[in-house]
Amino acid sequence: MTGREVSVLSFVDGETIRIMTSAQDHKRAKDGDQGLNTGGMGTFSPSPFYTEEVDEFCKKYIYQATVDAMKAEGRPFKGIIFFGLMLTPKGPRVLEYNARFGDPEAQVVIPRMKNDIVEVMEACIDGTLSEIELQFEDNAAVCVVLASDGYPVSYEKGFPISGLDTVEKMDGYYVFHAGTKFNDEGQIVTNGGRVLGVVAKGCDLKQARLNAYSATTWIEFDNKYMRNDIGKAIDEAEKNEA
């Protein structure tokens, strides 16, 4: 299959499915989608490529059909279904399913959700998801992963991280820890390839991207590495529409 990938998360209670807003991931380690595949170097939400037409097709042929098929097989599913979609020239196709929140896709989706996530999860357990309508803010979010230089092959660990307190004071900014730990002195240090997911919201994707990259400058550690083109597809989509 060829085309652009889009990630769509959903809540399921065995019968009803509620779709979250779309997101798009960048897997390659280096700018321009070069280098090795990683667990994700950044994401943005919503995806401008997940159009109303794509949503209508997926709701008709993919989302509820998946839930119904599992129930018909005697294996009703409750929880999170992650739909990895490929937007091919012949229409959307399912590239993969995951029974979990996608990482780092969820980091740009959940901050935009207006609902109380605990209430939604309880509805999945109780089978009352049909009574809930998911609501998302009319904005956008971008995540830039701060990694250890050399990831995903080899990299050094144990470097102190500074600047996290700056992000904590800012509204609409978030830091998700991926590869960190406390050292013997109580400092937060790097402890993995993907170290932090730095997320910022904005009125649109372009502003969210600017905010996220500004936030990456507030956080420092030796060996810090990131892609500099997360969300560049946003500009491409706008050119195609013009």
In the three-class reduction of DSSP (H, G, I as helix; E, B as strand; rest coil), residue 216 is classed as helix
Q: pTM, whole model, 2 decimals? A: 0.93
Residue 219 · residue 163 · CB < 8 Å = yes
Q: With 80 as the cut, is the pLDDT of residue 14 above it?
A: yes
Q: What is the mean pLDDT of the chain?
A: 95
Q: Which of 227, 241, 237, 217 is nearest to 41 (CA)?
A: 227
* Pairwise CA distance, residues 29 & 42, whole Å: 10
Per-residue pLDDT, 242: 46
Q: What is the mean pLDDT of residues 110-122?
A: 98
Residue 241's Cβ-count burial label (10 Å; 0-12, 13-18, 19+) is exposed
Place of tokens 């470097």: 159
